Structure 1
């Protein structure tokens, strides 16, 4: 009968011990496999804000300042972050400040929670206080490490320092990108400078309201009050000629712009005059007969 144990010089390997070794080797392999996947998972979820913002040239200055102040490295160590980014024109107002001031200001643009536009609109309250990366430094005084977010209307959201009395200067303009529920990048209008971090940056004033255009005048004859001096020459304006009297003969009405009648026209008018009536011809004949009879009587008497 074959012995169930295996002989190794100086060591006896039983079947039970061999099974235990196999189990132990399997456990060790599982540990290495789990550790490998954890390492891969941690690497894949690292928040590389520099790489994310590198896809948007309009935020290039903000991205460079995150690298310059070494805040990009701190963001990588976070699992959940919301970054309030500024475009190149907006951040130019603080780009020339000292590294210490820039770091403090930009840390207040990094919220230690996930907020996208949808979550902001679902805030139960109109205002909320958010914790920023500056609060983790232990140097924040009063509420310097917090932000105030306020909804002032549907789709209208503003940010400001959490310090009491600080103005809400930065308006939410939209979402740049979102990786739920790890990274959200929101576009804001104005740098948020907490009291004690340097000169504040105020929100630009709203553009002046344009004056309404005057109502067009109705087309029509010019009013007498609008006629300038020197334009009136004793005649009614051509735009409003004076009517002729109702009882005046139509031929007597002056016709503006026509020349006077020529002599030939006058002769034609005389030739066209109407002949005497029959009654006037009888009267003339009676006078002639009386004259002849008077002449005859005078001759007989003589």
Structure 2
């Protein structure tokens, strides 16, 4: 009788051990799945937030450009080709708008032939031919309509260009230039880190970025810690998606020039505390078209 009880106890103990193992395994899988779902939700939120703030910055740059293109003081000084006066007026307007709206931007005015008339940060620069590498300027001259985009120059910025018109005739243009630092700070307040990547093949144009940190075929445009990109498979990226390494997870989307040529990617990073591996990539041409250039009819 005792032998039978002993066998029954062993069987019962075995069943309990096996059942406990599978219950623990199920719980582990559920917890892992829950962590993955939470990470994916957070990445989706970061992607949406970055896109929205990015579009907001473009709209702001465009509104500034349109406002300055209609400023009578700026127009009068430009018509009289008084560069010193234009420089003083433009910088006065910039400082006033900075105080009112806590913004940081630069202004460049272009002559009718798309050469440099004035740069708000450097009075000495003038007469520089821009048409060969500034697609936006050519488009604004041709269509006489405002335009905003991420455009390559010696730097990579958000550039909003508005035509200067006299009796409907194109006489020049004015652009507002916003870098990515304000966007970086806004995302940082939400717990995210911004990384703007440009393909290195464009460094022959973006000469001011030649000494910036590089990873694979990309160069980092804004100020951020590039070491967080270790082991990120940049060559496997598509239009947008989510990717991670051991310590960081990222949402990303691509951006394009005005001829729809891919320039690089905008990443938003969050800490990957649970070391979850993720690599989801998606194609979405309509999304791409909408995101990266805006014109005003």
TM-score tier (shorter): under 0.3
Structure (1 or 2) with the larger CA radius of gyration: 1
Q: TM-score, normalised by structure 1?
A: 0.22
Q: TM-score, normalised by structure 2?
A: 0.22
The answer to which structure has the higher helix fraction is 2
